[in-house]
Amino acid sequence: MRMNADAEESFIMLNTTIEMLSDLINICEDAREFYAAVAHRTNSRSLEETFRRIASTRESVIINLRLHALSIVGEAAEEIIGNGQTSDLFRPLKTEIDDMELTLVKKLEKAESAALEQFREALNSEPPEATTNLIERQMQMLDETHSHIKFLKRHLGNAAKTDPSQQYKMRL
């Protein structure tokens, strides 16, 4: 009887871990799609490059999380990993792409903070050690992205204070 209880506990942990990884993948896919779209709509070359780099970083995180999930459950269960459901962090910003960059970057910072919080919550759920290590490594990359967005917010805010015409507009 004890073996069945252990097997059941292992199965529950496995499902919980895969669901958590799928949620993180969905958050990153939503962010990647957003940053790729906004990169095409800005008039600023430096912001375009920044947003493309951030989209690329998110793609790397997605690949790493997906490969880890596949290593846990195998390719037969690939359709349950990152099931394509978008998160609510970046989706609302898609309607505001034509907003001024400073306003948009302020909202991006909040979305990035919320995404990092989701990763922290995943760690707090005490996943298996290999999953914990992976999430921590991915968080380092996302923390760099978050720091870059905070820098942009300060930079654009300072430019707006000195010369309001320095705020860039997105192409419509």
If one counts every other C-beta atom within 10 angstroms of the C-beta of residue 4, the result is: 8
pLDDT recorded at residue 28: 93
CA distance 101 to 110: 14
pLDDT recorded at residue 161: 67
**Percent of the chain topping pLDDT 90:** 41
**Which of the listed CATH numbers 3.40.1390.20, 1.10.10.10, 1.10.3720.10, 1.20.1260.10 matches domain 2-166?**
1.20.1260.10
Tell me: the pLDDT tens digits for 63-87? 999 999 988 887 655 566 655 565 5
Tell me the pTM. 0.78
How distant, in Å, are the alpha carbons of 19, 21, 74, 161 from that of 66?
12, 8, 11, 43
Beta bridge pairs of residue 42: 170
Residue 152 above 80 pLDDT? yes
